[in-house]
């Protein structure tokens, strides 16, 4: 137990050190070239199509919360919303945003309002585009499925925490010919995303939204820290395998 705690503390400290180092490097202008993620590129096209058609883009922030273990997933979805809200402030076509947790709703409202801060009337209208549907996953999925037809949604983006209800929403959108981007961290949800969405954000890719869409130094720095940590873990595992093999 004590060893686990010490190991966790050391890992955290190494992570913090790496994050600070990479953050200062990125802020100094040493930004790396990020690999291509098709889903983020497609998101820009979704925006354009929503403007051309006059039909809204729907963003689902999932069934996660901001006060439990799913907070990181919800924040990833909110990063996507921030990007869409900034674009909406320029184009005037607001995305429709839905979620099942009321605390996420508050963050979503704040994000939309902040993006429209230059125009108080538009900021007030932005609240109408945030829909808290229901706290239960089944009821939430039912609400979103109805929203697709009632709001005549043009494109659908779902990034956050999802369970089995993802398939209900994703398949309903696919059957209506709505183009989709799906992203989740739960490996059990990924097959549903793969079979229903045109572009996918698998696992940790959802956490890269801030780095790819807003090019924020903190997000790019943390992406580099994540990659370095991954290599460290990989080398540790490799070393462990070699040691265990040599010991017989």
Partner 1 sequence: MTKPGRILATAVAVIAGLFVLADMFIARLPVAGLGNLQRAVSGTSFLLVSWAAIIFAFALFLGFYNVVSVHVKQIRANKPEAIYSIVLLVSLAATLLVGFWGGPNGAGSQFIFDYILQPLEATFFALLALFIATAAFRAFRVHNLESFFFVLFAVIVLLGQVPLGIYLWSEFPIIKDWILNVPTMAGVRGILLGVALGTIATGLRVLLAADRPYTD
Report, in Å, the least distance between residue 208 CB and partner 1. Answer: 8
Is 43 or 193 the residue whose CB approaches partner 1 more closely? 193
Is 60 or 185 the residue whose CB approaches partner 1 more closely? 185
Report, in Å, the least distance between residue 66 CB and partner 1. Answer: 8
Closest CA relative to residue 75, chosen from 64, 86, 84: 64
- How big is the chain by its Cα radius of gyration, in Å? 20
Is 48 or 234 the residue whose CB approaches partner 1 more closely? 234
Report, in Å, the least distance between residue 160 CB and partner 1. Answer: 13
CB proximity list for 233: less than 8 A, separation 6 or greater: none
Report, in Å, the least distance between residue 48 CB and partner 1. Answer: 25
Distance between CA atoms of residues 182 and 162, nearest Å: 10
Report, in Å, the least distance between residue 180 CB and partner 1. Answer: 12
Q: Distance of alpha carbon 132 from its chain centroid, rounded?
A: 18
DSSP assignment of 9-42 equals: HHHHHHHHHHHHHHHHHHHTT-PPPPPP-HHHHH
Is 52 or 191 the residue whose CB approaches partner 1 more closely? 191
Is 60 or 65 the residue whose CB approaches partner 1 more closely? 65
Structure tokens at 178: 């709505």
Is 52 or 229 the residue whose CB approaches partner 1 more closely? 229
Distance between CA atoms of residues 119 and 141, nearest Å: 33
Cβ-contact 157, 57 below 8 angstroms:
yes
Residues in the chain: 248
Distance between CA atoms of residues 141 and 63, nearest Å: 9
Is 37 or 105 the residue whose CB approaches partner 1 more closely? 105
Counting Cβ atoms within 10 Å, is residue 122 exposed (0-12), middle (13-18) or buried (19+)?
Answer: middle
Report, in Å, the least distance between residue 130 CB and partner 1. Answer: 7
Report, in Å, the least distance between residue 10 CB and partner 1. Answer: 11
């Amino acid at each position: 137990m004590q060893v686990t705690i010490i190991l966790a503390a050391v890992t955290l400290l190494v992570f913090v050190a790496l994050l600070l180092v990479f953050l200062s490097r990125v802020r100094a202008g040493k930004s790396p070239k990020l690999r291509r993620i098709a889903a983020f590129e497609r998101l820009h096209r979704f925006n354009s199509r929503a403007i051309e058609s006059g039909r809204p883009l729907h963003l689902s922030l999932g069934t996660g919360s901001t006060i439990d273990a799913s907070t990181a997933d919800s924040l990833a979805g909110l990063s996507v919303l921030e990007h869409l809200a900034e674009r909406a402030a320029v184009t005037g076509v607001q995305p429709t945003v839905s979620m099942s947790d009321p605390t996420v709703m508050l963050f979503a409202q704040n994000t939309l309002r902040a993006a429209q801060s230059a125009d108080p009337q538009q900021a007030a209208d932005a609240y109408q585009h945030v829909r808290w549907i229901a706290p239960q996953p089944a009821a939430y999925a039912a609400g979103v499925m109805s929203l697709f037809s009632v709001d005549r949604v043009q494109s659908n983006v779902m990034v956050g925490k999802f369970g089995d209800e993802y398939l209900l929403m994703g398949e309903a959108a696919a059957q209506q010919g709505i183009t989709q981007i799906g992203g989740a961290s739960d490996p059990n949800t990924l097959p549903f995303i793969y079979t229903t969405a045109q572009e996918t954000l698998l696992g940790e890719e959802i956490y890269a939204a801030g780095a790819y869409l807003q090019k924020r130094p903190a997000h790019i720095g943390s992406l580099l820290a994540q990659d370095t940590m991954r290599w460290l873990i990989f080398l540790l595992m490799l070393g462990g395998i070699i040691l265990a093999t040599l010991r017989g």
